[in-house]
Structures are given as structure tokens and as C-alpha cells.
Chains A and B, each alone.
Chain A
Amino acid sequence: MSTQTSTIALRCDGLVKRFADVTAVNGLDLEVFKGECFGLLGPNGAGKTTTVEILEGLTPSDEGTVEILGERWSKGDDRALRERIGVQLQETQLPEKVTVVETLRLFRSFYQRGHDVDEVIHTVALEEKRNARVGKLSGGQRQRLAVACALVSDPELLFLDEPTTGLDPQARLSLWDIVEKFRAGGGTILLTTHYMEEASRLCDRVAIMDHGKVIALGTPAELIESLGADQIVEFSVTKELADEVLKGLPAVTHLHKRDADYSLTVSEIGVALPALLAEIERQQSEIVTLTTHQATLEDVFVSLTGRMLRDA
């Protein structure tokens, strides 16, 4: 154990990673505090996985420094550092012919200290599948097993790379439970995701990434507040409307337009909506769809990049 009493669990400065044809990480700085759940939110290809793998000591960076729990990769005892972190990789397919309990015993054997295997099986609610082969598990169960393999060492810092991608809502909820329990026990989590609900629900702080850089950082509430708006109005109409007129409507702070779909960021819905409806009528257009919702992290991303998270 490190004797350092720092509150920083993880820090990286000026991280750069280039591949043959693309710069995946382009000058990234991060600080994650002990005991917090930190989210890296961004679309596919934003450089999240590359960043996490550099932090996990699996991929060397081209530039920049990484400090994990007060230590550096390849500078001291990497194996001792690995004892203290838990890792779930995005695409690991564990051996199919081996059972749940056998898989966990294997991972447990790599660590000097850690949890009892059955205790971890209980934590991830896989008791019924204890003796089932990995090949027979559902997607959600496999993912819970992958997280269990990361938890079996009782890590101080847990890396989760898109832990719920491709899972149905219920499987996602049960995985969120596991993450929350780990955090409640005092653990630190670095989580990547491209689901805004996931980041809003789990993360204390979020860094929004795009093109290998952090473009916004803060608590989910702060980021949403930074939009200067609390409501989003999305609508489509039969006849195109002039951008300038829409931007000039009262209480509208931002306009995003994609084909025939409009998205208005508004500070006061009660002022903006009647004005919008009147304008549509004045221009002799008709509403096809119209929805309004509270601003989310997705809207933050849209306003920063002009793109949606899922289609970026």
C-alpha cells in the first residue's frame, strides 16, 4: 500500500497517443479523486478506450504522464500496482468452457489478497449460475462476471470500459447496482460510456471527450447548467423555417438543426413555446412532431459539437 495520503486516485497530463493514421488521444489531462465515480463520456471513436488502456498500463502513450494511486507504470513495480486496480475491458470474451466459479478462482489466484470467490458471486448476483459455463450465460450475466473478475481482488481503483453497452435495460440496472455498491464501499471508479443516463446516474463528475480531447468537465448538474437553459424543445415542421428568425425568438439560447429536425435550447419554456408556435403559424408551416424535455448531458454534447452522441 502506498503511504501517500493524497486525495488524487488517478492523474494524467498531456496524454498523446497516435496510431498510423489517426491521433486517438490528443493532449488529455484528467484528475480523478479518491472515492468518486468519474465518467468519460463521448461518442464511439472519441478515444475513450485508448485513454483507459493507457491508464491501465496496457498501452504505452506517446507523450504525457500517468500517475495511478501515486505510482507510475514501468517506473517501479507494475505487478504491485496491478494488485490494487480492477479492470474490465470492453471486449473480453472469457473462456466459454469454464464455469463462473472456476473463472473467478482463476482470477482470484493472481492476487495476493482479495475477496472470497463466493462473496463476489453474491455481489454480482450470479449465485444461480455459479456452476454454469461462461458459454451458457446471457450478455448481462457475462458482463456481471467480467466485472466480478475485476472486483475479486478488492481493488482500490476500478476501471470499467463501456460496461453496459449492448445490454437490455434490466441488465443495465443490475450492473449499475454493482457499481453503486462498490462506490458506497469507498472505491474509486473510472467509467467510460456513451450513454448519458448512465453518466448522469452513476458519475460524480464527467469529462466529455471528443476527438481525443476533453471538451467539458464538471458534475452532470454543472454541465447541464452551463447550457444556460433547462429545457430543450425538439420539433419538425412541414415547411422549412428561417434559422435567423428562430434564433431571435425570446428565451432561445441555441439552435441545432439537422435536416428537417430542429432542436432549441431555451431558458424559459413558458416564454419560448408560445412564441415558437406563433412563428410557425405566421410562416404558414405546420408542426409534425414536437417534444420538450429537461436538458441532459446529451444536449451538452450536442451544443458543444453540433453532433449527437450516438451518431457522432
Chain B
Amino acid sequence: MPEGKESHPLVELTLTRMREFLREKEAVFWVFVFPVLMTFALGIAFRNTAPDKTLVAIEAGDAKATETASLLSRSPEIGATVLSPDEAQRALRSGKVAIIVKPVDDAFEYRFDPTRPESRAARLLVDDVLQRGKGRADVVNVGEARITEPGARYVDFLVPGLIGMNMMGSGLWGLGFTVVIARSRKILKRFAATPMRRSHYLLSFMLSRLVFLVLEVAAVIIFATLAFGFTVRGSWLSVALITVLGGFTFSGVGLLVAARPTTIEGVSGLMNFIMLPMWLLSGTFFSSERFPQILQPFIQALPLTALNNVLRALMNEGATLSSNWVPIAILLAWCVVSFVVALKIFKWQ
């Protein structure tokens, strides 16, 4: 007998999405396990320890070379080796040493690449040690305080960036692939033959993403807290709101990317094209402000830059939402525009 309506299509669509995801072992690994492993690996790689020694090559020639080496070795921060001119040149080129010191009569010649930050630092350090060794005295006393407290370390900078990058990745891959596979298998066409509201189909992706997002972000934050003493300075509510907004935004971008392609190859290319600039420019691993001024308007308008900036402000600086309205507005704009355009140009068969 025909019966009345059972459950809401949006609920059923979202449940289907979640079942499909949870029953796909590989997807679960990339979304939940991989980000934690990545945080661990990078946290270890950039953990705060005593800075490594600055490695210096001294060009062999006469007795001056050994004298220079012993002079430099007085500093605990320098590792000096005497090498033949050829070897020294090769070591500099390959980055094994930061600078070459060539004794010339009573003077020295420094060879280094000024575009490499560690080489510039090495020049200052080497020069200081040599000048003092030759008798230069300090004219004023200086004191120094070393800052290694939580919140100002590299790992604290890194965690919000990884969360942002991860949200972009799972939003785009998760949605893009699923939609394009459904299209190539004619499932979209089959749905189009039912009275299903098309916006419900697209919304179900956003909702299911939201559920996993909470777990995904929590996994990274909890891990970073336990392993590296990471702390969230701002309010948890603000962080949660921005996470939801970020999740919606990248779901929207994912839908937009997947709106037309009919093959996996097609959508993969498109996704890489969209994500690559953001991986490079959006300040996941280092601040995006390091890029030239002329690129800044473009970089700041990218959704990942906006998300990273807000997350860092909230987590590291304890800022409020209202003081970050610009990147929040950028995220909102991406979210709404991409969803509306995706719905408009979406190809159902």
C-alpha cells in the first residue's frame, strides 16, 4: 500500500554520503590519520632545540688557513673545515656550508650567496668572531632573552596552517572525486530523473563534510596539544565557527570544481590547478607576507590565505572574530559564490 513520506531526503542523502565515506578505508586514512602524521613529522622536524652549528669552509692555501680555523672554532656556534678551493666551492653550491672564508694576507674574503638567509646570518656571525679574535672590543653591553614559550614557536604557527590546508584538501578531493564518479557512473542522471531537489544533493555534501570536519580538526588539535603542548588562545566557539565556515567554503569550491568534468583525469587536473597556488602562496608553512607586495592582493583574496590568517589570529594571538572581519568576509564570499555558481552550472549527466 502506498504510504506517506518517510525520512527527509536531505537526511538520507547526507547519511548516504557518510556511509560511502566511512566504508572507504583509504579515504578515512587520508582525512584523519594523514594530517596527524604530518603534524607529528613537521613538529619533530622543526622542534625547538639549540640551533645547529653554522658550517663554514676555509679555503686552504697557506698556514693562515689553520690559524683562521682555530680562531673560528672559539665560537661554539661555528663548525669550520679547511677545504681546497674546488671542494669549498662545491660545498657552498650544494648548501653543505653557508659561507667560504678565504684568508688573503692579513685580511679575509667572504664568499656567500646573499639571497640565502642562512648565508647572510653566517656572514654576520663569522665576521663578528674574526673581528673579536683580531682584537675588536664590544662598545656596549647587551642582554638577551630567549623566547620559546608555547604560542610563539614554529609548531604553533604550523598547526593552524595544517588545519587550513587539510580542510582545503579534504573538501576538494572528497567532494570533487565523489561527484565526478557519480556523474561518470550515471548516478547523477538517475537522481535527476527523480523529484529530488538538486540543492539537497549539493547541500548533503556540505553537511556530511561538516560532521567529519569536526573530527578531523579535533584530531589535529588534540594531537598537537598532547605532543607539542599546543594551546588555542582564542575562544573555542570562534574557532569552531571559523572551522565550519572554512569547511563550507571548501565544500563549495569542491562542488564548483566538480560541476562540469566527466572524468577523474579531468577533475584531478582542475583540482591541482586550483590547489597548487594555495599550497605555495597561502602561508601554510611560512607566512604569506614574505611574497612580493605586488602579489599580495591576489594572495590575500585566496580562500586558504583567509582561513589560515583567521585561524592563526584566533589560535595563536587570541584575537576576536570582529577584529578579523576582512578574511571572514572573503571566506563568506567564496562560500556563497561558489555554491550558487556550482548549482547553476552543475552538469547532471
Report A48-71 residues with CB < 8 Å from chain B CB.
56-58
Please determine whether A89 and B195 come into contact, CB atoms closer than 8 angstroms. no
Please determine whether A80 and B9 come into contact, CB atoms closer than 8 angstroms. no
Residue of A nearest to B186 (CB): A92
Q: Give B123 Cβ to nearest chain A Cβ, in Å.
A: 60
A222 within 8 A of B: no
Please determine whether B19 and A98 come into contact, CB atoms closer than 8 angstroms. yes
Please determine whether A58 and B193 come into contact, CB atoms closer than 8 angstroms. yes
Q: Give B201 Cβ to nearest chain A Cβ, in Å.
A: 10
- Complex: A47 Cα to B20 Cα, angstroms: 35
**Which of B10-18, B88-96, B226-234, B296-304 lies on the face that meets chain A?**
B10-18
- Complex: A117 Cα to B1 Cα, angstroms: 11
Taking CB atoms, residues of chain A closer than 8 Å to B23 are: 97, 133
Q: How many B residues face the partner with a CB closer than 8 A?
A: 32
Beyond A108-B6, A109-B8, is A102–B195 a contact (Cβ under 8 Å)? no
Beyond A58-B349, A97-B24, A109-B12, is A89–B193 a contact (Cβ under 8 Å)? yes
Q: Give B251 Cβ to nearest chain A Cβ, in Å.
A: 19
Please determine whether A115 and B3 come into contact, CB atoms closer than 8 angstroms. yes
Taking CB atoms, residues of chain A closer than 8 Å to B11 are: 109
Q: Give A157 Cβ to nearest chain B Cβ, in Å.
A: 12
Residue of A nearest to B23 (CB): A97
Query: Which residue from B16, B193, B197 sits with its C-beta under 8 Å from A87?
Result: B193
- Complex: A107 Cα to B192 Cα, angstroms: 11
A116 within 8 A of B: yes
- Residue of A94, A102, A109, A113 with most chain B CB atoms under a 10 A cut-off: A109
Report B215-257 residues with CB < 8 Å from chain A CB.
none
Residue of A nearest to B24 (CB): A97
Beyond A82-B194, A89-B190, is A98–B20 a contact (Cβ under 8 Å)? yes
B187 within 8 A of A: yes
Beyond A58-B193, A58-B349, A105-B12, is A93–B6 a contact (Cβ under 8 Å)? no
Q: Give B126 Cβ to nearest chain A Cβ, in Å.
A: 62
A79 within 8 A of B: yes
- Residue of A56, A80, A110 with most chain B CB atoms under a 10 A cut-off: A110
Beyond A83-B195, A92-B189, is A97–B19 a contact (Cβ under 8 Å)? yes
B293 within 8 A of A: no
Please determine whether B9 and A109 come into contact, CB atoms closer than 8 angstroms. yes
A162 within 8 A of B: no
A21 within 8 A of B: no
A210 within 8 A of B: no
Residue of B nearest to A133 (CB): B23
Beyond A80-B195, A112-B5, is A89–B16 a contact (Cβ under 8 Å)? no
A91 within 8 A of B: yes
Q: Give B124 Cβ to nearest chain A Cβ, in Å.
A: 60
Q: How many A residues face the partner with a CB closer than 8 A?
A: 36
Query: Which residue from A95, A112, A149 sits with its C-beta under 8 Å from B16?
Result: A95
Query: Which residue from B12, B186, B192 sits with its C-beta under 8 Å from A106?
Result: B12
Please determine whether A93 and B19 come into contact, CB atoms closer than 8 angstroms. no
A241-255 interface bits toward B, Cβ cutoff 8 Å, 1 = contact, 0 = none: 000000000000000
B104 within 8 A of A: no
Residue of B nearest to A107 (CB): B194
Please determine whether B192 and A102 come into contact, CB atoms closer than 8 angstroms. no
Please determine whether A111 and B187 come into contact, CB atoms closer than 8 angstroms. no
Report B10-66 residues with CB < 8 Å from chain A CB.
11-13, 15-16, 19-20, 23-24
Beyond A102-B19, A109-B11, is A92–B185 a contact (Cβ under 8 Å)? yes
Residue of B nearest to A112 (CB): B5
Taking CB atoms, residues of chain B closer than 8 Å to A298 are: none
Taking CB atoms, residues of chain B closer than 8 Å to A56 are: 193
B7 within 8 A of A: yes
- Complex: A114 Cα to B9 Cα, angstroms: 14
Please determine whether A114 and B24 come into contact, CB atoms closer than 8 angstroms. no
B196 within 8 A of A: yes
A299 within 8 A of B: no
Residue of B nearest to A83 (CB): B195
Beyond A58-B192, A93-B187, is A154–B2 a contact (Cβ under 8 Å)? yes
Please determine whether B7 and A105 come into contact, CB atoms closer than 8 angstroms. yes
Report A74-104 residues with CB < 8 Å from chain B CB.
79-80, 82-83, 85, 87, 89, 91-95, 97-98, 102
Please determine whether B2 and A94 come into contact, CB atoms closer than 8 angstroms. no
Beyond A97-B19, A98-B20, is A110–B9 a contact (Cβ under 8 Å)? yes
Taking CB atoms, residues of chain A closer than 8 Å to B292 are: none
Please determine whether A89 and B3 come into contact, CB atoms closer than 8 angstroms. no
Please determine whether A113 and B187 come into contact, CB atoms closer than 8 angstroms. no
Please determine whether B2 and A92 come into contact, CB atoms closer than 8 angstroms. no
Please determine whether A109 and B190 come into contact, CB atoms closer than 8 angstroms. no
Residue of A nearest to B184 (CB): A93
Q: Give A82 Cβ to nearest chain B Cβ, in Å.
A: 4
Taking CB atoms, residues of chain A closer than 8 Å to B6 are: 105, 108-109, 117
A39-51 interface bits toward B, Cβ cutoff 8 Å, 1 = contact, 0 = none: 0000000000000
B4 within 8 A of A: yes
Residue of B nearest to A149 (CB): B190
Query: Which residue from B4, B16, B193, B194 sits with its C-beta under 8 Å from A113?
Result: B4
Excluding A102-B19, A110-B196, 18 further A-B contacts by CB distance (< 8 Å) are A58-B189, A58-B349, A79-B195, A80-B195, A89-B193, A92-B187, A94-B187, A98-B19, A106-B12, A108-B6, A109-B7, A109-B8, A109-B11, A109-B12, A114-B3, A115-B1, A115-B3, A149-B190
* A and B contact pairs by CB, cutoff 8 A, 24 listed: A58-B193, A82-B193, A87-B190, A89-B189, A93-B185, A93-B186, A95-B182, A97-B24, A98-B16, A106-B9, A106-B15, A107-B194, A108-B6, A109-B5, A109-B6, A109-B7, A109-B9, A110-B191, A110-B195, A110-B196, A113-B3, A114-B2, A115-B3, A154-B2
Which A residues contact B (CB, under 8 angstroms)?
56-58, 79-80, 82-83, 85, 87, 89, 91-95, 97-98, 102, 105-117, 119, 133, 149, 153-154
Among all A-B residue pairs, the 7 with the closest Cβ atoms:
A109-B12, A97-B23, A87-B193, A82-B195, A93-B185, A79-B195, A110-B194
